Amino acid sequence: GDEAARLGENGCSLKATEDIWFGCCSCTYFTRDQHGIVSHLVAHGDEQVKCPHPLMSPGSRSKVHTNTHMHRGLRFFKCKLCPQAFNWKSNLTRHNLLHTGERPYKCKQCPRAFAQSGSLVYHNHAHTGEKPFKCKLCHQAFATNSYLKSHNQTHTGETPYKCMVCPQSFAHRSSLINHNRTHAGEKPFKCKLCPRAFTRSSYLKEHNRTHNGDISYKCKLCPQVCTKNSQLRIHNQIHSGDKPYKCSICSQAFTRKSTLTCHNRTHTGEKPFKCKLCSQTFSQNSNLIRHNRRHNSEKP
């Protein structure tokens, strides 16, 4: 009666047919009986105020069952190896591949394989050279949206990943993970040809070039030779005039992210580098090194 009218006012047409299932938002109860669902909702009392009408789905019982789960935000498919849970069994199946190490999606052009089909799609861009994700602030483009998001932080100067041991912070989580290894002394990337080991895979790749006899990156526009590809990329910005690292407070822009980080301290007054022998602090590590020479009576 009154309850049915109230439910109707909330936008639910309670016309019962064999093709309509009524589901409760507060528990797993569902029925084809209009009067049955009304009585059930009344039984919930105050709890039902949050969702004062039943969910209705045409067709099958399984569909209303799924809809009520989604409406309540319930996640019934729980991983047995970690705390994650999912609305869909297919999502749990895909997640489990992370634990098993299984990579069923294999690249047809190289030995790489992936746990998710989407990762293979992005990887294929590396072979085709396709970079559909374009930066709106500079000329760069990327094979994946995640790479673009990481790149965008170079324009804002945002460094949300902060080290808990020292004042450094980073734009990317992977950079913080690599940095933490310097504190822990961990060097998981080992050379197969000599005893050297490194904190980053990129450092190992650079090192491997010394075994191959290829130790230099040459600029195509001038005689400059760099020992690292990253150094060559920064050098090339001198020729292009590209300064992608822009200050959000003033009009200055820089070729290097580290230069922007140092510049930002002129606005904030931050001096994170502290002398261990006296009370002085500095905005740049190079200034601290110069200062320490005075304590050691060293000349530059």
Mean pLDDT of 28-37: 65
Q: Determine contact, residues 64/71, Cβ cutoff 8 Å.
A: no
pTM value is: 0.34
Smallest CA-to-CA distance from 170 within 182, 188, 184, 187 is with 182
Q: Is the pLDDT of residue 300 over 70?
A: no
Distance in angstroms (rounded) separating the CA atoms of residues 289 and 274: 10
Q: Is the pLDDT of residue 57 over 70?
A: no
pLDDT band at 14 (very low <50, low <70, confident <90, very high): very low
Distance in angstroms (rounded) separating the CA atoms of residues 18 and 198: 67
pLDDT band at 37 (very low <50, low <70, confident <90, very high): low
pLDDT band at 32 (very low <50, low <70, confident <90, very high): low
Strands 161-162 and 169-170: what pairing? Answer: antiparallel
**Residue 277 buriedness (CB in 10 A; 0-12 / 13-18 / 19+):** exposed
Residue 235, both tokens: 């050098």
Q: Is the pLDDT of residue 52 over 60?
A: no
Distance in angstroms (rounded) separating the CA atoms of residues 200 and 177: 10
Q: What is the percentage of the chain residues whose pLDDT exceeds 90?
A: 0
Residue 255, both tokens: 């070729």
Using CA atoms in the order 54, 56, 60, 64, what is the torsion angle rounded to 10 degrees?
Answer: -50
234: Cβ contacts below 8 Å, ≥ 6 apart:
255, 256
Per the prediction, the chain carries an average pLDDT of: 73
Q: Is the pLDDT of residue 133 over 80?
A: yes
Q: Is the pLDDT of residue 1 over 50?
A: no
3-class SS at 34?
helix
pLDDT band at 4 (very low <50, low <70, confident <90, very high): very low
- Residue 200: count other Cβ atoms within 10 Å of its Cβ: 18
Strands 197-198 and 217-218: what pairing? Answer: unpaired
Q: Determine contact, residues 244/154, Cβ cutoff 8 Å.
A: yes
Give the H/E segment covering residue 206: helix 201-211
Using CA atoms in the order 11, 13, 14, 19, what is the torsion angle rounded to 10 degrees?
Answer: -130
- Give 178 or 77, the one with higher predicted confidence: 178
- pLDDT score at 2: 42
Smallest CA-to-CA distance from 5 within 52, 55, 56, 58 is with 52
Q: Determine contact, residues 74/33, Cβ cutoff 8 Å.
A: no
- The backbone torsions φ and ψ at residue 32, rounded to the nearest 5 degrees and listed phi first, read -90, -10
